[in-house]
Amino acid sequence: MFPAKNHPSDPGHSRGSVSITHARSVVLVEDDVDNRESIAEALEAEGFRVHSLARADEALKLLDSPRCPSLILLDLWTSPMGGRELLAAIALRPDRERFRVILISADSQARALATRPRVVEVLRKPFALARLIDAVRRYA
């Protein structure tokens, strides 16, 4: 069980913890609460289950669950552990092939990370939510 936002129309919707499921689920790691809520709401409106986390170290723990969603939306600038450190940790995992990462960052150097293992797309902030939704549909 992990904390997650689930859609109000889901059966058994609650504000507490929910079981992780693969089907149309994503992990969102974004430290800015407004960005995190906006992205989660947009994806939930499209039918995705979003496991919203403020910190990359929380996502690292979540990766150990065999039912962890394979798509990770990752902001590079989180603390105490940054997105680059999470990418490195994913690359070292024996099950790394099951993960795909969409980087979301205002960092002008983020595009250089597009060739890192498991990175499938880089979206530079600010981006249109429609671009993010399209990317999530492609990789989720």
More confident residue, 5 or 30: 30
What CATH number has the domain spanning 2-139?
Answer: 3.40.50.2300
Can you name the residues that pair with 103 across neighbouring β-strands?
A: 74, 122
Q: What is the pLDDT of residue 81?
A: 86
pLDDT tens across 57-88, in order? Answer: 999 999 998 889 999 999 998 888 889 999 99
DSSP 20: -
Q: What is the pLDDT confidence band of residue 23, given thresholds at 50, 70 and 90? A: low
Q: What is the pLDDT of residue 109?
A: 86
Q: What is the pLDDT of residue 22?
A: 47
Domain ranges of the chain: 2-139
Rounded to an integer, the average pLDDT of 35-52 is 96
Q: Indicate left, alpha or beta for 118 from its phi (over 0: left) and psi (-120 to 50: alpha).
A: left
Sheet with 25-29: list strands edge to edge: 49-53, 25-29, 71-75, 100-105, 119-124
Of the listed ranges 18-32, 75-89, 94-108, the least confidently predicted one is: 18-32
CB–CB of 75/38 below 8 Å? no
